């Protein structure tokens, strides 16, 4: 029986890179895609170190031509596609009023419409095979809002609704959809790929001091993060292998605790506590 083929988007670093390698180590035929093939060096090196093979392809989920070309290559090489891991995306940091419409649209193009475009393109292959797994990498930010992340959280909330609805639509074709929801993970989204709204850097912004404090707090949380990209990759593996996969996989103890608290605290109690705590922590930065 041939290896099950899986496409992982956004595989040049972080969660995407680790997921591609994890799946390859567990017997999947992995097609790892990225927007810029000049950034394949880290994936190539780590694949060689671990003694696994990944096939690297160019795919920008905001450019339909690259999606179609990539899937044609996969169809030609593997004959079909069992799994899709939608990991590619972007972030914009800044209080909402400081984020321009064009900056917000870029995030939604990559996180929401790009994810939808790749998913729409793979569904015929999966329906033809009568089976398939689609995994969306969302975030705890798709379940809980936070200051300085209004646009990013809005895009992840959108993915949550998309994934939940899609799972209801395609189940009769033997296709399952899962949402993997990590807490804070130390990846390049908080380093080289950190994207800050131009307005958030303006000293005249009414949110300038708040945002400066928030960035300090964020850096501390990232440095202290105990949830790893490998743990997220493990959740993806479970979603692909489980006979009956769950709709949601929360990754990280803190994320799990926060979501449990929200589930069990009455009414708006959690939201008041959560907002008060965030405000306290941001304002306490000296």
Whether the pLDDT of residue 137 is over 90: the answer is yes
- pLDDT average, residue stretch 144-156: 96
Give the model's pLDDT for residue 248.
Answer: 98
Residues 21, 57: Cα–Cα separation, whole Å = 15
pLDDT digits (tens, 9 = 90+) for 39-66: 999 999 999 999 999 999 999 999 999 9
Whether the pLDDT of residue 73 is over 90: the answer is yes
- pLDDT average, residue stretch 221-230: 85
Q: E strands of the chain, at which residues? A: 5-8, 29-34, 54-58, 83-86, 132-137, 175-182, 248-251
Provide the annotated active-site residues: 152
Give the model's pLDDT for residue 219.
Answer: 87
pLDDT bin (cut points 50, 70, 90) of residue 1 is very low
Average pLDDT, the chain: 94
- pLDDT average, residue stretch 92-103: 97
Beta-bridge partner residues of 133: 83, 176
- pLDDT average, residue stretch 91-106: 97
Spatial CB neighbours of 98, under 8 Å, sequence gap ≥ 6: 197, 199, 200, 202, 205, 207, 211
Give the model's pLDDT for residue 285.
Answer: 87
pLDDT digits (tens, 9 = 90+) for 237-271: 999 999 999 999 999 999 999 999 999 998 789 99
pLDDT digits (tens, 9 = 90+) for 108-125: 999 999 999 999 999 999
**Residue 113 — φ and ψ, nearest 5°?**
-70, -35
Query: Which domains occur in the chain, in start order?
Result: 5-283 (3.40.50.720)
Whether the pLDDT of residue 234 is over 60: the answer is yes
pLDDT bin (cut points 50, 70, 90) of residue 222 is confident
pLDDT digits (tens, 9 = 90+) for 33-42: 999 999 999 9
Q: Are 147 and 190 in contact (CB under 8 A)?
A: no
Give the model's pLDDT for residue 151.
Answer: 97
Total length of the chain: 286
């Amino acid at each position: 029986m041939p290896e099950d083929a899986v496409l992982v988007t956004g595989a040049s670093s972080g969660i995407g890179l680790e997921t591609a390698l994890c799946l390859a180590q567990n017997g999947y035929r992995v097609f790892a895609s990225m927007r810029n093939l000049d950034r394949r060096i880290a994936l190539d090196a780590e694949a060689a170190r671990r003694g696994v093979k990944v096939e690297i392809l160019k795919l920008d989920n905001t450019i339909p031509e690259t999606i179609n070309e990539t899937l044609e290559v996969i169809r030609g090489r593997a004959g079909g596609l069992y799994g899709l891991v939608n990991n590619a995306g972007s972030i914009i940091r800044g209080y909402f009023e400081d984020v321009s419409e064009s900056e917000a649209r870029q995030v939604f193009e990559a996180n929401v419409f790009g994810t939808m475009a790749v998913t729409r393109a793979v569904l015929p292959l999966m329906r033809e095979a009568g089976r398939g797994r689609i995994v969306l990498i969302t975030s705890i930010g798709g379940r809980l809002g936070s200051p300085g992340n209004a646009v990013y959280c809005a895009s992840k909330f959108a993915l949550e609704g998309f994934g939940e609805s899609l799972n209801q639509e395609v189940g009769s074709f033997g296709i399952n959809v899962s949402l993997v929801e990590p807490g804070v993970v130390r990846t390049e989204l908080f380093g080289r790929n950190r994207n800050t709204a131009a307005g958030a850097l303006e000293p005249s912004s009414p949110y300038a001091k708040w945002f400066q404090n928030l960035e300090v707090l964020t850096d501390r949380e990232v440095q202290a993060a105990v949830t790893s990209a490998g743990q997220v990759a493990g959740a993806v593996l479970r979603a692909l292998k489980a006979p009956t996969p769950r709709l949601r996989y929360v990754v990280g103890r803190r994320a799990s605790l926060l979501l449990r608290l929200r589930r069990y605290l009455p009414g708006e109690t959690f939201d008041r506590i959560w907002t008060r705590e965030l405000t306290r922590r941001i304002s306490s930065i000296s």
